[in-house]
Structure 1
Amino acid sequence: MDIKKDVQKQFGRSADEYVKSSGHRKGEDLKKLVEIARVTGIEHVLDVATGGGHTANAFASLVNKVTAVDLTPEMLTAAEKFIKGNGHSNVAFVEGDAEKLPFPDDTFDIVTCRIAPHHFPNVQHFVSEVHRVLKTNSQFLLDDNVAPEVNEYDQFYNKIEKIRDYSHFRAWKKTEWINMLEHVGFEIQELYRFEKRFDFNSWCDRMKMSQTDKESLNDYIVSSNQEVKNKFRITIQQNKVESFLGEAVLLKAIKS
């Protein structure tokens, strides 16, 4: 699909920025994700759409082996440099599609996926694939930005993400995630919500937006109605957007 080529193009040129991104590198959600994982040290972990490799890196010292898979070769190169630079030698790097994972059934003890599914054009295929490659009674740790339940706010958030990043497909609602996971046979054990403050300039610059596109996005946000501004805690100074507040959820689900 064209969107997958878009993802490869977009993240291929932004790979190093994602390794350095503080939201990806130091987020409280990553700390919580590792904390709630049930780990004994013998596990084989699959990190889907590893991006800068932050989740794979966090698990490398806690488990036997980590396999980091990503659609974008440049991302895998950047992740490998980052992870090996931290002294980890038990991480394998595999180029692959989250919606068609190149692994046998019942292979992994834990599957993780962090801040990535909003790029997947068929997220239900991804959820089914995770269920397939996990062993029975094993853990899926899912962490992604989500859209509000109110349709107006959902549409606003997904629109600004799409303007900023043409490889964005859809941030799903919390209820949509619960529905998809339970329908393929996962039982949700834990759910956490995180507020995410986005600095407008660094958020745009990470995607290497042109100044013209950045100004157009700024004007679209500034012209939004007051209810939207209130919902997303949008801060504006002299007609320039400074920041806004999004949200993410972290889910721990078990393959039953």
Structure 2
Amino acid sequence: MTDAHARSVRAQVGASAEAYVQSAGHAAGEDLERLLAWGRARGAARVLDIATGGGHTALAFARFTPSVVATDLTLPMLDAARRFIARAGFPGVRFVAADVEALPFREESFGVVTCRVAAHHFRELLPALRQVARVLRRGASFLVEDILGHDDPELAAFIQEVQRRRDPSHVRSFRALEWTAFLRATGLTVMDEAVLEEARDWADWTGRARMSDEAKASLERVVLDAPARCREAFRFELDGERIVSFSDRLLLLRADKD
């Protein structure tokens, strides 16, 4: 990850660390339950959660996994996750500051690697996936969830602008076919997948990004001025000209190392 992009991620995400810990959408949901079901079925003794954010995925796996390691690029986020998980009664989770493109772990040292709603922040996806494949044991699983890119160019461009205006560290959301191709290129084969929709409360979603009033108003203008089909595709709910909510499409994949 370039220094400039790393600084952007740290500035945007690190300053919102406690907000991510308190986020109800990150703490639970059908998406997390699906990842946990896949993880339980693998029965791994050692799990790595990359880009852990508020630590919710690491905590969920720590409830049934002997050894969990959580990494993040941002120290404030790691500190917030450490406090959160310790309060929950799991002080044994290990925390490591690490760039996803240079994971400081030995080859084939984990039975499961997880990454939940973070890959859209990665400067480049392929180098990160190479690192995931490197640290996974043969036959082990990568459990990943991220915002799903849209196949329709107009809809993809619209939601990309919405995401980038809200969070400048957002890079790109990939389509399912792109994910499959990247994973195959690193020796990982998709074994299971799911697509879920998750409603986002607009005030909470924009508030967590610490948007200024001016930036939020500009973003809302983009949404309101967009073609109706764009708002309909992402289920934007309006109260007059006030945006109430919208829906993210989430792609979940279980990919096993060949």
User: What TM-score, normalized by structure 1, do the two folds share?
Assistant: 0.97
Q: Secondary structure of the residue that 2:255 maps to in structure 1?
A: strand
Corresponding residue number in structure 1 for 2:69: 67
Corresponding residue number in structure 2 for 1:213: 215
Task: After TM superposition, give the deviation of residue 90 of structure 1 in Å.
Answer: 2.4
Task: After TM superposition, give the deviation of residue 173 of structure 1 in Å.
Answer: 1.2
After superposition, what is the alpha-carbon deviation per residue over 1:115-145, rounded to whole angstroms, capped at 9, x for unaligned?
Answer: 1000000111011110001010001000111
Taking the aligned partners of 2:126 and 2:42, their CA distance within structure 1 comes to: 30
- Greater shift, 211-220 or 178-187, is seen at 178-187
Equivalent in 14, 17, 35 of residue 37 of structure 2: 35
8 Å contact kept, 2:52–2:58 = yes
8 Å contact kept, 1:41–1:64 = no
Equivalent in 78, 81, 84 of residue 80 of structure 2: 78
Q: Percent of pairs identical after alignment?
A: 37
Do residues 130 (structure 1) and 152 (structure 2) align?
no
- Greater shift, 33-42 or 135-144, is seen at 33-42
Q: Which 5+ residue runs of structure 1 have no aligned equivalent?
A: none
| Pairing 1:210-249 to 2, within 5 Å after superposition | 210-249=212-251
Corresponding residue number in structure 2 for 1:164: 166
Taking the aligned partners of 1:222 and 1:40, their CA distance within structure 2 comes to: 45
- Greater shift, 35-44 or 77-86, is seen at 35-44
* Residue identity in the other structure for 2:211: M
Corresponding residue number in structure 2 for 1:250: 252
Runs of 4+ in 1 over 3 A off after TM superposition: 38-42
Equivalent in 20, 23, 42 of residue 21 of structure 1: 23
Corresponding residue number in structure 2 for 1:178: 180
CA RMSD of aligned residues (A): 1.2
Taking the aligned partners of 2:233 and 2:222, their CA distance within structure 1 comes to: 16
Corresponding residue number in structure 2 for 1:97: 99
Q: Secondary structure of the residue that 2:77 maps to in structure 1?
A: helix
Task: After TM superposition, give the deviation of residue 27 of structure 1 in Å.
Answer: 2.1
8 Å contact kept, 1:41–1:62 = no
After superposition, what is the alpha-carbon deviation per residue over 1:149-170, rounded to whole angstroms, capped at 9, x for unaligned?
Answer: 1111111111110000111111
Taking the aligned partners of 1:176 and 1:231, their CA distance within structure 2 comes to: 21
Equivalent in 5, 10, 24 of residue 3 of structure 1: 5
